[in-house]
Amino acid sequence: MYRTHTCGALRLQDAAKEVTLAGWVQTIRKFGAITFIDLRDRYGITQLLFGEELNRLLEANPPGREFVIQVKGVVMERSNKNANIPTGEIEVAVLSFKVLNASVTPPFTIQDDTDGGDDLRMKFRYLDLRRNVVKRNLELRYAVSRSARNFLHENDFMDIETPFLIKSTPEGARDFVVPSRMNAGQFYALPQSPQTFKQLLMVSGYDRYYQVVKCFRDEDLRADRQPEFTQIDCEMSFVEQEDILNMFEGLIKRIFKDVKGLDYTATVERMSWEDAMWQYGNDKPDTRFGMQVANLKVPRHVFPEKHAFIVESPVEKGGFKVFEEAETVLAIAVSGCSEYSRKQTDELTEWVKRPQIGMKGLAYIKCNTDGSFKSSMDKFYDETQLQSFAASVKASAGDLILILAGAEERTRKAISELRLEMGKRLGLRKNDEFKLLWVLDFPLFEYSAEDNRWVARHHPFTSPRPSDVDTMIHHSPLIEDASKYLEHPYANIKANAYDMVLNGNEIGGGSIRIYQRDLQEKMFAALGMSPEESQHKFGFLLGAFEYGAPPHGGIAFGFDRLCSILGGSESIRDFIAFPKNNSGRDVMLDAPSTIDNRQLEELNIRLTDKNHPSH
């Protein structure tokens, strides 16, 4: 062993001990004939004192920043104590030292506030990983996985590994594929999730399964997506939705406790998907703050069951063409912002007009503290009408009402974004506040106008709510009149599915699964698969359902995202040791890369020129 102690271990009670340390040179400070070096390792920093004699040796062979050195010395009480670090009361008076390895000057400083840009830090990721902030992220990641594993173990879950080289069954996202050398012309696929395997394990009777497992999706990468990502993947047999919700609330609360020291004793709120869409414009609302959406005008076909959410307001009574012509008019009341200046409201208007939001403009009503109103629509609405708006939106004196109008889907998305932005500006989205929410009762199907058929909102193994099973079994999925797809019985089938939302992020999602062959076949048919196709792709699962499949369900948590939220960061990349960039490249390795012709030949494939397609 090159050391007797780590750089985080020594304390005042170790004074006078002779020790050996090894680590990296963090800083070098010369004071005349003596030198101080801060020696760093994973565990901390220890100050080394090179007295006059040693200093001469040091100067003959001077180490620089990030050199790896080994020192023998004696632990001494420091005269000048540093209360900020656990080793701050001592230093090691060096008796001898050895340079174990030199370092050229790093391309950026190894500090919390580094001068390195993103690209440089990714190229030299092994140096970026030395920074304390990054190290803390990976430590948090490990703590989360450790906590999850312990909880699941204590609850009789078994970690069972599922294969990585599987069969390509593209549904939704694209598979990454792997050419097989031994089976010419054939390919494996990398799993998008272990979904069918964990269901087979339930059929096999394993009852409670988990895995912390890499998954792969060949998608066009949006910001903060990775082609490979990690899931905490779980499945249980003989359970109903309620059992799953209870178990996995418990998991997340345990992680809060173990990792953040946080007692989350509150009941986890539950909200239907429809309520979330009406009230927050979003299926993963951030419920750390209120500021719910007021639905002033919404077309009839949207969420037909819940029109109680549409509030009375003078929206169509002022002759304001923008509102009259808009499909949807939505508003939020922002607390304490009635005194926004023209400059501020202009800036908000520019914000909603950005292409990412895509609105044409923003209307506002200032509910002044003196009870008066001031609006961007003063031409169209009188004081009484403005007051009526304020009542509809449940605004109080001092609030700023922000109103968006336009096409339903875009406008709802925009009001949701605006709400989040205002919440952020008002400091209502605190990194150290954690608010969980279950979103339930998603639609089982979405309508694809392109193919005039249903597509699975979640995945084809999600079961309908128990009360909707008969509807699904007893009606044909065929849509005879495309214009009336909303009247098809399938349009109202709800999924027996649930998403767990943390601070406005979906951190996990799952469902009670179909476990009956006939219902599964109906589902595949509803998705436009012929019996032959479903047999070819999922014959093993349909087969398994014939041999005593138990009722079962599960959930998968996005591990990278969960870590980033717990770490108070918006970027999952900060919580992955070796992430890829937005083009799916590992810039440190320079991967992907070309391969030898010999490799291609062995795999029985050749490249096509992108500009000269082969057909």
Answer yes or no whether residue 204 interacts with its own copies by CB under 8 A. yes
**Residue (of 277, 378, 412, 390) closest to 333 by Cα position:** 390
Q: How far is the CB of 253 from its own copies (least distance, A)?
A: 20
For residues 97 and 81, what is the distance between their CA atoms, to the nearest angstrom?
A: 24
Answer yes or no whether residue 189 interacts with its own copies by CB under 8 A. yes
Neighbours of 512 (CB within 10 A): 25
By CB under 8 A, the residues from 118 to 147 that bind its own copies are 124-127, 129-130, 135, 138-139, 142, 145-146
Of 490 and 575, CB closest to its own copies:
575
Contact indicator for 207, 554 with CB cutoff of 8 Å = no
Q: How far is the CB of 265 from its own copies (least distance, A)?
A: 23
Applying CB under 8 A, the span of 250-258, 291-299, 332-340, 603-611 interacting with its own copies comes to 603-611
Answer yes or no whether residue 289 interacts with its own copies by CB under 8 A. no
In single-letter form, the type of residue at position 435 comes to: K
The DSSP secondary-structure symbol of 465 reads P
Answer yes or no whether residue 165 interacts with its own copies by CB under 8 A. yes
Answer yes or no whether residue 505 interacts with its own copies by CB under 8 A. no
Applying CB under 8 A, the span of 49-57, 224-232, 440-448, 478-486 interacting with its own copies comes to 224-232
End-to-end CA distance of the chain: 63
By CB under 8 A, the residues from 41 to 70 that bind its own copies are 41-43, 66-68
Of 27 and 476, CB closest to its own copies:
27
Answer yes or no whether residue 499 interacts with its own copies by CB under 8 A. no
Neighbours of 140 (CB within 10 A): 19
By CB under 8 A, the residues from 6 to 25 that bind its own copies are 22-25
Q: How far is the CB of 69 from its own copies (least distance, A)?
A: 9
Q: How far is the CB of 233 from its own copies (least distance, A)?
A: 13
Answer yes or no whether residue 183 interacts with its own copies by CB under 8 A. yes
Answer yes or no whether residue 115 interacts with its own copies by CB under 8 A. no
Tell which one of 33, 57, 173, 184 touches its own copies (CB under 8 A).
Answer: 184
Residues 6 or more apart from 433 whose CB is under 8 A from it? 288, 503
**Residue (of 558, 509, 554, 555) closest to 202 by Cα position:** 554
CA distances (Å), 312 to each of 254, 329, 374, 388, 409, in order?
Answer: 44, 12, 20, 9, 21
Residues 6 or more apart from 236 whose CB is under 8 A from it? 202, 207, 208, 209, 243, 244, 247, 552, 553, 554
Q: How far is the CB of 205 from its own copies (least distance, A)?
A: 5
Report CA Rg, the chain: 30
Answer yes or no whether residue 224 interacts with its own copies by CB under 8 A. no
**Residue (of 89, 84, 6, 3) closest to 44 by Cα position:** 6
**Residue (of 143, 150, 40, 31) closest to 79 by Cα position:** 31
Q: How far is the CB of 294 from its own copies (least distance, A)?
A: 40
For residues 487 and 490, what is the distance between their CA atoms, to the nearest angstrom?
A: 8
Tell which one of 455, 550, 569, 571 touches its own copies (CB under 8 A).
Answer: 550
Q: How far is the CB of 546 from its own copies (least distance, A)?
A: 5
Answer yes or no whether residue 207 interacts with its own copies by CB under 8 A. yes
Tell which one of 11, 33, 62, 163 touches its own copies (CB under 8 A).
Answer: 163
Contact indicator for 140, 563 with CB cutoff of 8 Å = yes
Answer yes or no whether residue 109 interacts with its own copies by CB under 8 A. no
Tokens of 529: 């698969």
Tell which one of 33, 391, 397, 577 touches its own copies (CB under 8 A).
Answer: 577
Answer yes or no whether residue 186 interacts with its own copies by CB under 8 A. yes
Q: How far is the CB of 176 from its own copies (least distance, A)?
A: 5
Burial of 583 (0-12, 13-18, 19+ CB in 10 A): exposed
Residue 294 sits at φ, ψ, to 5 deg, of: -95, 125
Tell which one of 166, 322, 377, 469 touches its own copies (CB under 8 A).
Answer: 166
For residues 482 and 118, what is the distance between their CA atoms, to the nearest angstrom?
A: 49
Answer yes or no whether residue 173 interacts with its own copies by CB under 8 A. no
Contact indicator for 215, 191 with CB cutoff of 8 Å = yes
Answer yes or no whether residue 214 interacts with its own copies by CB under 8 A. yes
Answer yes or no whether residue 177 interacts with its own copies by CB under 8 A. yes
Answer yes or no whether residue 466 interacts with its own copies by CB under 8 A. no
CA distances (Å), 254 to each of 102, 152, 259, in order?
Answer: 44, 10, 8
Q: How far is the CB of 51 from its own copies (least distance, A)?
A: 24
Of 47 and 416, CB closest to its own copies:
47
Answer yes or no whether residue 372 interacts with its own copies by CB under 8 A. no
Of 170 and 489, CB closest to its own copies:
170
CA distances (Å), 11 to each of 5, 20, 570, 589, in order?
Answer: 11, 14, 37, 41
**x-or-dash string of contact with its own copies, 86-105, rule CB under 8 A:** --------------xxxxx-
Cis peptide, bond prior to residue 592, ω within 30 of zero = yes
